[in-house]
Amino acid sequence: MDEHVGEQRWWQGAVLYQVYVRSFRDSDGDGYGDLRGIIERLDYLAWLGVDGIWLSPTMPSPDQDWGYDVSGYLSVHRGLGTMEDLDALIAGAGARGLRVLLDLVPNHTSTAHPWFIDAASGRDSAHRRYYVWADPAPDGGPPSNWLSATGGSAWAWHEPTGQYYLHGFLPSQADLNWREPAVHAEFDKILRFWFDRGVAGFRIDVAQGLYKDAELRDDPPAQDANWLDTRFGLRQVYSANRPESHGVFRDWRRIADDYVPPRLLLGETWVGDFGALAGFYGHDDELQLAFNFPFLFAPFTARGLSDVVSQTLAALPDRACPVWTASNHDVGRLATHWCWGDQRKIRLALLVLATLPGTTVLYYGDEIGMTNVEVPPELQRDTMRGPESARDRGRTPMQWDSSRSGGFTRDGVTPWLPLGDTASCNVAGQRDHRSSVLSLCRGLLRLRREQLGGLPGYELLHADDRLWAYRAGTLTVTANFSDQLASSPVQVGEVLLSTELAQPDDQVLRPWEGVVATSSGAAEAGPGCR
Ligand code: GLC
Ligand code: MG
């Protein structure tokens, strides 16, 4: 790789912003957010100061899993807009210096995809091998003990052709067979198609899932495995996490690096083991970024977060860029699961996210401290899990203003999911207030842009039950994760920003206060962050 390519790693130090398209902004008054709606808010995103946006799935889909059941990879979902809209979005974003990532779903397709329809038409069909088919076990039951994300068997019986097909998620999401070369060829084409249109990269859905065990061996009991690597009591050793998937990422990386600037591959790498997480980066020849789920699920404590950061940086290979995120459309919002709506904690969480070296990914609404919204069962739209754990709570419409529609859609239109408390939390109400979460977030992103580009080092200065202090590049961050006043565990230079509104004090941290200050010397380049 030449120097030139290195310089173009715009994502190092960047902030990405996940737009759950259906919930961001509805431009046509049908109650669903759409691509034109995002175009209407590009000025806002530029004002906020993010570097790029990742759009939840935009491809045609019957929406059994809201776009994660793709029925066509080379076009745009009619309900969200047209190809012209997407081109206009990419162009409009580009004019503001924003990159656009799409969501790519390579683990499975909708059973409504023409490939599956053909595959299901007969054992000799042209696309039969695109999917994972298997004969029943000797007792007539499913070929292995593998479980789907709904908790039942991952195998669905297909009576017309007398075999089971595999579905790691809903029965309407059939797993692709990555042992079939034609599947590789299809996806190479899909990547190039979108890269040619100016898409800056992909978030890759279920990146740990692609290859399955060739012999379909049973997954072993979870025992003491990290829960992230398990599913309903089984460790996903054979149904996912197979080493062959890395070959796919190496191929895709070569394609991504063919472009100027190189295209970005950001994996949804749902693993609990830091070694496995590091593996997705390969030798700087696989994914450039991999989501860090141990961080997202870490307890919101000084030690909890600090431990995960240290373990991540120790595990990642040279030149690998860590990724920090705390909310998404599956797990819900940081303002709830980390902060339980406490404004002080929300402010501190944003400060941490904005000051860790690497790439930070915010979820729409994080910047105003949007919390999860309890969606009553009759209004729920997510069928993957039972009503208790439906993911809708983290997918409710963006709260733009305090009007009845929240500024999400037209007045009088019922949004596809109910709005949260728009009166107390919305963009318009926070935008011009110095003391708002939004102003803090914007200030943090500005500071990050000015001071934490590229891959500055990270150095742990202090972590105990209440306090965390670290150096990030030239900055020193001190954070009090407790309800008590605390004296700063380290000396800092000039205070640049604090989560507290009152005049910050460089020696005393108020409850849940985080402070960013200058430090006397820059940190040595840290592990994983060179
Ligand atoms: C990923 C997506 C999730 C989806 C699943 C199946 O985990 O983030 O929303 O349900 O994959 O595609
Ligand atoms: Mg709409």
210-247 pLDDT, tens digit each: 999 999 999 999 999 999 999 999 999 999 999 999 99
80: CA distance to ligand 1 center in Å? 19
Amino acid at 294: P
For the Cβ of 54 lying below 6 angstroms from any atom of ligand 1, the answer is no
Q: Token pair of 516, please?
A: 């960013």
Catalytic residue among 26, 51, 103, 268, which? 268
Mutate to test the pocket of ligand 1, among 20, 55, 169, 383 (most ligand atoms within 8 A of CB): 169
260: CA distance to ligand 2 center in Å? 33
408: CA distance to ligand 2 center in Å? 10
Strand partners, 460: 470
183: CA distance to ligand 1 center in Å? 20
Q: Is 280 a residue whose pLDDT tops 70?
A: yes
State the Cα–Cα distance between residues 88 and 95, nearest whole angstrom. Answer: 10
What is the rounded average pLDDT of the residues 398-415? 97
Q: How many CA atoms lie within 13 A of 340 on its CB side?
A: 2
State the pLDDT confidence band at 506, using cuts at 50, 70 and 90.
Answer: confident
Amino acid at 33: G
Q: Is 504 a residue whose pLDDT tops 80?
A: no
Q: Which of 83, 24, 75 is nearest to 54 (CA)?
A: 24
Q: Is 527 a residue whose pLDDT tops 90?
A: no
pLDDT more than 70, % of the chain: 97
Are 490 and 467 within 8 A, CB to CB?
A: no
User: What's the pLDDT at 526?
Assistant: 47
For the Cβ of 176 lying below 6 angstroms from any atom of ligand 1, the answer is no
Residue 360 backbone phi and psi in degrees, to 5: -110, 135
State the pLDDT confidence band at 7, using cuts at 50, 70 and 90.
Answer: low
Residue 330 Cα: closest atom of ligand 1 = 9
For the Cβ of 63 lying below 6 angstroms from any atom of ligand 1, the answer is no
Neighbour-count burial of 97, counting CB atoms closer than 10 A to its CB (0-12 exposed, 13-18 middle, 19+ buried): exposed
User: What's the pLDDT at 388?
Assistant: 85
User: What's the pLDDT at 3?
Assistant: 46
Residue 128 backbone phi and psi in degrees, to 5: -50, -45
Nearest CA to ligand 1 atom 5: 68
Where do runs of H (alpha helix) occur along 54-180? 83-95, 114-119
User: What's the pLDDT at 83?
Assistant: 98
Ligand nearest to the CA of 20: 1
What is the rounded average pLDDT of the residues 415-425? 97
Q: Which residues contact 371 (CB under 8 A, 6 or more apart)?
A: 333, 335, 336, 341, 420, 421, 425
Is 378 labeled as catalytic in the residue annotation?
A: no
Are 372 and 393 within 8 A, CB to CB?
A: yes
User: What's the pLDDT at 2?
Assistant: 45
State the pLDDT confidence band at 261, using cuts at 50, 70 and 90.
Answer: very high
DSSP H or E segment with residue 151:
none
Mean pLDDT of the chain: 95
Query: Can you tell me whether residue 165 is helix, strand or coil?
Result: strand
Are 438 and 376 within 8 A, CB to CB?
A: no
Residue with tokens 């309903």: 232
Mutate to test the pocket of ligand 1, among 63, 65, 101 (most ligand atoms within 8 A of CB): 65
For residue 317, the tally of other CB atoms under 10 A from its CB is 14
State the pLDDT confidence band at 6, using cuts at 50, 70 and 90.
Answer: very low
What is the rounded average pLDDT of the residues 120-129? 98
DSSP string, 203-225: EETTTTTS---TT-PPPPB-TTS
Catalytic residue among 205, 367, 392, 513, which? 205
Nearest CA to ligand 1 atom 4: 68
User: What's the pLDDT at 520?
Assistant: 62
Residue length, the chain?
530
State the Cα–Cα distance between residues 48 and 42, nearest whole angstrom. Answer: 10
User: What's the pLDDT at 255?
Assistant: 98
Q: Token pair of 58, please?
A: 């935009």
State the pLDDT confidence band at 503, using cuts at 50, 70 and 90.
Answer: confident
Residue with tokens 């994300």: 149
User: What's the pLDDT at 5?
Assistant: 47
Are 349 and 382 within 8 A, CB to CB?
A: no
For the Cβ of 206 lying below 6 angstroms from any atom of ligand 1, the answer is yes
User: What's the pLDDT at 505?
Assistant: 76
State the Cα–Cα distance between residues 287 and 282, nearest whole angstrom. Answer: 7
For the Cβ of 500 lying below 6 angstroms from any atom of ligand 1, the answer is no
Q: Is 307 a residue whose pLDDT tops 60?
A: yes
For the Cβ of 459 lying below 6 angstroms from any atom of ligand 1, the answer is no
Query: Can you tell me whether residue 11 is helix, strand or coil?
Result: coil
State the pLDDT confidence band at 501, using cuts at 50, 70 and 90.
Answer: confident
User: What's the pLDDT at 47?
Assistant: 98
Is 205 labeled as catalytic in the residue annotation?
A: yes
